[in-house]
Structure formats: structure tokens, C-alpha cells
Amino acid sequence: MSQEKFKNITTFVFDIDGVMTDGSVHVLETGEHYRVFHIRDGYAIERAVQAGYRICVITGGKHEGVRKRLQNLKIHDVFMGSGGKSKLEIYKGWLAESGVSEENILYMGDDLPDYEVMSRPDLFATCPADSCDEILEIANYISPKNGGKGAVRDVIEQVMRGKGEWLKF
């Protein structure tokens, strides 16, 4: 695939479960759920934020631990819990508010709730290697990494390397 699509990116939009995590839900005896994030994905997100990239998260979940992780990574555009809206509705609202052009957006999703957004022709649709079949079929780029195992870093690093920004400290 051509690196040209990566060079146009100024904004990343990520799902959480199956993208930033491996999709597992760990349940404690108290009934509390927790997620596991890959430290290298977090490092890449921090680098992207420092370099001036905009990062947005749209997820159906609404766990406070996830919100705190995203705050620690300095992600400001966070949409958790759908409130009855589809991801497409949330995405369109954010898109109108943000003023970002879809040609500059890389979206990474892994499952059917991401399908409508990823089907939009102007954005760069990406997914982890272990995404569901329907998402694998429509993705413009499939990371060789699984969700929660470096897929987020893969796409961020490719964008930043393509612009000569990855090794700038």
C-alpha cells in the first residue's frame, strides 16, 4: 500500500476495546471490570499528542479506569458510552465541531459498531490484524499487530515516520 495516505493524516480516531485493548474484559470478584493497555501504544499516543496530532476516542464503554487512562495520555476528544447514539452519529457530531477534514483522519476500529464510520470513503480506515471479517474487508490498511498488542503504535509510527517526525525528540 502506498505511504501517501499516511502522509495526509493529522488526526487519529480510535476505538478502545479490540483496538487499544485486546478486547478482553477482566472481572474482579467485586464485579468491577478492568482493561489492559499496551505501554507502547500509550507511548506512541503521547508522542503524537506532543507533535500536535489530534486524537479522538469513540467507545461504547464508559468505565472510569479507561477515562483516567485517556486523561493521562492527554486525549481531550473522548466520547464514552453512546447514550443511544451510533458511533457514526457521534463521529459526525465531532467531525462538524472539530472542523477536521476527513481526508486527514485515520480511524482504527475492529468490530461491527465501527463499520459505518469506516465505510466513509474519505477517511483512512484501519484495523488491527485480529478484527472481525467485515472490518478486515473494508479496511484501507490492516495492521500486522493485534488489538491491544501494538496496532495503535503501528499506525501512529507509520504516520510520524512518513513525515520524518518519529525520531524527533
Q: Structural domain boundaries of the chain? A: 5-162
Q: What is the mean pLDDT of residues 34-59?
A: 95
Amino acid occupying residue 157: E
Binding residues: 15, 17, 110
pTM metric for this prediction: 0.94
Return d(Cα 138, Cα 44) in angstroms, integer.
Answer: 25
Is residue 34 scored above 90 in pLDDT? no
**pLDDT tens profile 101-145:** 999 999 999 999 999 999 999 999 999 999 999 999 999 999 999
The yes/no answer on whether domain 5-162 falls in CATH 3.40.50.1000 is: yes
Binding residues for substrate: 17
Residue in 166, 140, 108, 156 with CA at minimum distance from that of residue 10: 156
Return d(Cα 111, Cα 115) in angstroms, integer.
Answer: 7
